């Protein structure tokens, strides 16, 4: 068994400087750690700044977009806005004009109907005189002018003997059996009917010949 040598044991032990490490190396490690923390904080600050800029109001973005336009681009944008406004105003004017035209036509038609309704008794008397042949040439001329005047305003007179009976246009005051009739037809016109377009102002009052049962 070898003898324990105290001096050799002391020589083999590491000195204090080796155990503590190089002070310069230790300082470098701490500085690296601090630099990493600073970089992390800077990245978080940048991210917050980007989010704040991204959530800005649209007006600011619009103003920024306006600032980036060239004078020619701004002029084109204003011209497009003026054109859109002009087209909108034109469409509104056309709609107003169409509504006004329809209202005027309706008022005009109501005026014609009022005049026609007031003259119906006189027109019926003229038809009766004409039917009985008691009308001279002067009276016939006046009657023809009245008929042409109503035609000018779109008034149509209807109701003829022999035409097929239509309950939407004829008012049957009497039905009489007729052995020769195959369908209901107008036998006698008591009072003529009048209409404007598809609107019946007064149905023709007629005697109807009906087929025998």
pLDDT in tens, 133-150: 777 888 888 888 998 999
- Give the Cα separation of 121 and 114 in Å (integer): 13
Q: Cα 81 vs. chain centroid, distance in angstroms? A: 21
Q: Tell me the pLDDT band of 68, cut-offs 50, 70 and 90.
A: confident
- Give the Cα separation of 157 and 144 in Å (integer): 13
Q: Residues 62-81: what's their mean pLDDT?
A: 78
Q: Tell me the pLDDT band of 74, cut-offs 50, 70 and 90.
A: confident
Element (H, E) at 149: helix 137-152
Cβ contact 206:188 at 8 Å: yes
Among 25-29, 47-51, 114-118, the range with the most confident prediction by mean pLDDT is 114-118
Q: List C-alpha distances in Å: 99 to 72, 92, 95, 106, 110.
A: 41, 11, 6, 11, 17
Asked if the model's pLDDT at residue 195 lies above 80, the reply is yes
The predicted pLDDT at position 67 comes to 66
Q: Residues 119-125: what's their mean pLDDT?
A: 92
The predicted pLDDT at position 206 comes to 95
Cβ contact 206:190 at 8 Å: yes
- Give the Cα separation of 119 and 43 in Å (integer): 96
Cβ contact 185:163 at 8 Å: yes
Match 């400087």 to its residue by tokens: 17
Asked if the model's pLDDT at residue 10 lies above 50, the reply is no
- Output the six-digit token pair for 60: 């600011």
The predicted pLDDT at position 130 comes to 85
- Where are any strands of DSSP class E within the chain? 155-158, 170-178, 185-191, 193-196, 199-202, 204-211
In terms of Cα–Cα distance, which of 186, 203, 184 is closest to 195?
203
Residues 106-113: contacts with CB under 8 Å, at least 24 apart? 109/154, 109/196, 112/153, 112/154, 112/155, 112/196, 113/196, 113/201
Q: Tell me the pLDDT band of 198, cut-offs 50, 70 and 90.
A: confident
**What percentage of the chain has pLDDT greater than the value 90?**
42
What pLDDT digit, counting tens, does each position of 20-48 carry?
Answer: 444 444 444 444 454 555 565 555 555 55
């Amino acid at each position: 068994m070898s003898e324990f040598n105290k001096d050799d044991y002391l020589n083999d032990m590491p000195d204090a400087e080796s155990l503590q490490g190089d002070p310069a190396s230790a300082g470098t490690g701490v500085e690296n750690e601090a630099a990493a923390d600073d970089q992390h904080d800077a990245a978080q600050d940048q991210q917050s700044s980007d989010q704040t800029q991204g959530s800005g109001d649209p007006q600011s973005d619009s103003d920024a977009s306006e600032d980036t336009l060239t004078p020619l681009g701004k002029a084109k944008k204003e011209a497009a806005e003026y054109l859109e406004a002009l087209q909108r105003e034109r469409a509104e004017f056309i709609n107003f004009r169409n509504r006004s035209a329809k209202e005027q036509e309706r008022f005009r038609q109501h005026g014609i109907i009022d005049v026609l309704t007031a003259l119906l008794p006189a027109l019926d008397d003229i038809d009766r005189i004409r039917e009985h042949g008691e009308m001279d040439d002067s009276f016939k001329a006046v009657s023809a002018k009245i008929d042409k005047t109503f035609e000018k305003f779109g008034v149509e007179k209807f109701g003829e003997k022999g035409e097929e009976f239509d309950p939407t246009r004829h008012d049957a005051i009497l039905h009489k059996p007729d052995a020769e009739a195959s369908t209901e037809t107008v036998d006698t016109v008591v009072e003529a009917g009048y209409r404007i377009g598809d609107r019946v102002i007064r149905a023709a009052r007629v005697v109807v010949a009906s087929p025998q049962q």
